[in-house]
Structure 1
Amino acid sequence: MCSPAARLSWPPRALPRCGPSAGLEPEPRRDPMTTRRQILAALAATSLPLPALAQTRTITDAIGREVVLPRQSQRVVNMFNYEEFTAIAGLDGWQRVVGMNRVVWEGWRPAIFSRYRELIPNLATMPDVGNTDEGTFSAEKVISLRPDLLMMPAWAWTAGSTVRDQIVAAGIPVLVFDYNAQTVERHVASTLAIGAAMGTPGRAAELAERYRRNIGDILDRVGRAAGPTRPKIHLELGQGGKDVIGNSYSAATMWGRIFAMLGVQNVAEGRFTGNYAPIAAEAVLAANPDFLYIGASSWTNRPNAVRTGYGVTAEQTRASLAPYATRPGWSGLAAIRNGELHAIEHGLCRTLFDDTAMLYIARRAWPGAFEGMDPVAALANYHARYLPVPFSGTWMLPWRA
């Protein structure tokens, strides 16, 4: 079995088939792991296409691995970041996708998934290869689909190491992308790698340059506008409504990472171990933040959640957000007094368009530095240029009109 960091080769080495012993004598006792490896090898040897060695190319993925691919990948399994994949590869790219991790899109964000399902004919019945979080990610499922490329996020590459090693050993190229790191470098590397793999390098380069330019411009404006006193910001996940204290985030991830890039004071920083957790109501009152953000979305079976997303009106968002202003003690907070309680779509961070969310937060903190710049218009423009789903709904707004 080769190391996951090793240079991958294509086509796979022909492996012997396994099967029952000849004759009527009892079969020898087999080690279960050896049998499992034989089954995986047999699947790989009998079902994978074998392009000529000359028809290959080498690309570098987001974590610096060199991946040897067929000249044109025709059967792709993709496990995450489906909106990024669509922006980079276009709707035509979906015609070559033969498997996916369904739960991270259909299960986690069904309202968004349903809109894409209307535009992508094979999405409704796309085979599921499982998810590492639930322990359902399966090498057998992947290999049975005869892919010539598996694309997976860095978190799944790490969490599913045993399964991914079996897939690599079967000769299937694996490309790793990483938008969860929330660095410009990883965003750009992921976008360029997907574009190279899917045959859309020009589109990928345009998207990568757009992201690099926008983040650079935001941080440059903040650097020139920020004074010695940094704005104090608190964000809480709004799934359970005002009576449930939701998660906040450290500088390592999600909104905490965006706050760290902007150089603001994150009320949650240093108040828990790990990347996210609820913090005590008393801590928020004592901190007296200048800005309060509630992470919102179009979650299902969350009747008290703050609502944002496609088809959600501003009135609906504000109606679901307003109860937070009535929490005990919140009426005296600077953020509430100044109208700086906001809903922001939770799914905007860790994406190829999370620059729009960063722009919204920066513009509220330093309005003079971002005069005339509209983050909602920027998100709508991203949809118009790169996504097949029309822009609609509410994604970020203050509770007072």
Structure 2
Amino acid sequence: MTLFTRGLASAALFLGLTLPATAEITVTDLRDRTVTLEKPAERVLLGFYYEDFLAVTGPGAVDRIVALSKSPWADWRPGQWAAYTAAFPQLNDLPDVGDTESATFSVEAAIAARPDLVLLAGWQYDALGENVAQFEAAGIPVVTLDYNAQTVEKHVLSTRVLGAVMGQPERAEKLASLYQSRMQDTLDRVAKAGPSAKKVYVELAQKGPDEVGNSYGKGMWAGVIEMVGGQNIAKGQIENWGPLSPEYVLAEQPDIILLAGSEWLNKPAAVLLGFGADPALAQDRMAAYLGRPGWSELPAVKAGEVYGIYHGGTRALSDYVYVRYIAKALHPDAFADVDPAAEIADHYHDWLPIDAAGIFVVKYE
């Protein structure tokens, strides 16, 4: 977890001070690359981690974006995109440089936007491969972040690196400290509660009850379940993600069911959660899943332990909220005073330029 600067910049960042505009900044990014900026970035090509960029950079952050990899925001989280473009219509007018997932990312279009910094997720950097050299040849620094790793260490380092390159080390340190403290509090409560024998089944509730959606053997929700002491029934059955057979789920008799919902468009049977979600519709869509053959006899359904959780909530600075939500389902007494819905509202109020207007965690009633 290393953050280096030179001369005066080194001392200033170490102490968490605001750097002079002319101070040279050197960071070690999340692909262990040493990158130097002459000063905090003013013209950013933003590849991913849009809300984390806004949270760390603070007021005026949108004005410092000159181009976007738009699809992972507008297409993956359309409700979130709609909320931000309503508040900041200029986002609609920014050049879209494509995305690495669909192999449409254009380095030429990115360079044409004249950024003084390219911010990429680690997975975007990996996908671009040797093409990154075109940015370097054009004299444009590239910095990688990695909230996808789902570790406290990399969340904190990503936040500090982002704060350094955007000239906001103090704000970044406050966010990093908040994340560390909430995660440590969560792990302390889990440890005090002791091991849980509860079995957990998570399903990506995108396709509707007639077709089985993905579960997670490693990473994503699997990583969270393991972190807070749950017994993930997909572990050992799926390498990363994929569907479990209905027969297997019934045989495992899960004690907790998590339906991961999002803001999907043109998915008429999906559990819709996130920005702009309707509480009554969310309950109706969850109820449809519980009508599957045999589900009425599952321990989770009989005990009322079925939850909806926002699929866009993992792998971000606010994901401690979703960790705590699952931990509370597993250890209700240990988390009796924790209100994850209030915590997500507080995160937006304190750190982001819009409110969390929607449903992000919900229990089936």
TM-score normalised by the chain length of structure 1:
0.83
Tell me the SS of whatever aligns to 1:342: strand
CA offsets per residue over residues 308-333 of structure 1, 9 Å max, x none? 12232322211111011111111111
Return the letter of the residue paired with 1:247.
N
Identify the residue that residue 307 of structure 1 maps to in structure 2: 272
Which residue does 1:385 correspond to in 2? 350
Equivalent in the alignment of 2:209: 242
Quick check: which has more Rg, 1 or 2? 1
| Counterpart in the other structure of 1:201 | 169
Deviation at residue 392 of structure 1 after TM alignment: 2.3
Matched, 1:372 2:340: no
- Alignment map for 1:262-277 (pairs within 5 Å): 262-273=228-239, 275-277=240-242
Contact 1:93 1:198 in 2 (8 A): no
Paired residues, what number?
345
Distance 1:108 1:91 in 2: 25
Distance 2:317 2:40 in 1: 24
Aligned 8 A contact 1:76 1:151 in 2: yes
- Separation (CA, whole Å) in 2 of partners of 1:381 and 1:139: 37
2: distance between equivalents of 1:222 and 1:388?
32
- 1:123 is aligned, of 91, 96, 100, to 91
Residues 311 and 146 of structure 1, relative CA distance in 2, 3 Å threshold: closer
Residue pairs, 1:173-252, within 5 angstroms: 173-227=141-195, 229-251=196-218
Q: Distance in 1 between matches of 2:271 and 2:156?
A: 32
Q: Which range moved further: 139-148 or 240-249? A: 139-148
Aligned-pair CA distance for 1:258? 0.6
1:143 and 1:167 in contact (8 A); partners too = yes
2:318 to 345, 353, 364: 353
Tell me the distance in 1 between the aligned counterparts of 2:307 and 2:42.
44
The CA distance in 1 between the partners of 2:179 and 2:360, in whole Å, is 19
Could you tell me how far apart the structure 1 residues matched to 2:319 and 2:328 are? 14
Change (3 A) 1:295 1:197: same
- Judge conservation of contact 2:296–2:302 (CA < 8 Å) in 1: yes
Matched, 1:145 2:113: yes
SS in 2 for 1:84: helix
Matches within 5 A, 1:54-73: 56-73=24-41
2: distance between equivalents of 1:206 and 1:151?
21
Counterpart for residue 78 of structure 2: 110
3-state SS of paired residue (1:85): helix
Report how far residue 55 of structure 1 moved. 5.4
The range that moved more, 312-321 or 337-346, is 312-321
Structure 1 residues not aligned, in runs of 5+ = 1-6, 8-53
> Which sections of structure 2, spanning at least 5 residues, go unmatched?
5-21
Counting aligned pairs with the same residue, the percent is 40
Distance 1:95 1:343, change over 3 A: same
Contact 2:187-2:228 at 8 Å conserved across structures: yes
Alignment RMSD, CA only? 1.5
1:74 aligns with 2:42: yes
- Please identify, of 288-297 and 389-398, the stretch whose mean Cα deviation from structure 2 is larger: 389-398
Equivalent in the alignment of 1:338? 303
Q: In the aligned structure 2, how far is the partner of 1:108 from the partner of 1:314? A: 21
Write the deviation string for residues 201-220 of structure 1: whole angstroms up to 9, x where unpaired: 11111111111111111011
Deviation at 1:83, TM superposition (A): 0.8
Could you tell me how far apart the structure 2 residues matched to 1:366 and 1:262 are?
Answer: 9
| Conserved? CA contact 1:310–1:394, under 8 Å | yes
Q: Distance in 2 between matches of 1:191 and 1:241?
A: 36
Q: Is the 8 A contact 2:45 2:115 kept in 1?
A: yes
Which range moves more in the overlay, 342-351 or 309-318? 309-318
Do the aligned partners of 1:137 and 1:163 also contact (CA within 8 Å) in 2? no
Match of residue 252 from structure 2: 287
Shift of 1:62: 2.4
* TM-superposed deviation, 1:176: 0.4
1:218 is matched by which residue type in structure 2? T
The alpha-carbon distance between structure 1 residues 91 and 110, as it changes in their structure 2 partners (threshold 3 A), is farther
Q: Deviations over 1:138-194 (max 9, x none)?
A: 221121122111000000111111221222233211110001111001111111111
| AA partner of residue 142 (structure 2) | V
Cα deviation code 1:104-160 (max 9, x no counterpart): 111211111011112224201111111111111122112112211100000011111
Give the whole-Å Cα distance in 1 for the aligned partners of 2:157 and 2:31.
Answer: 8
Distance 2:254 2:150 in 1: 24
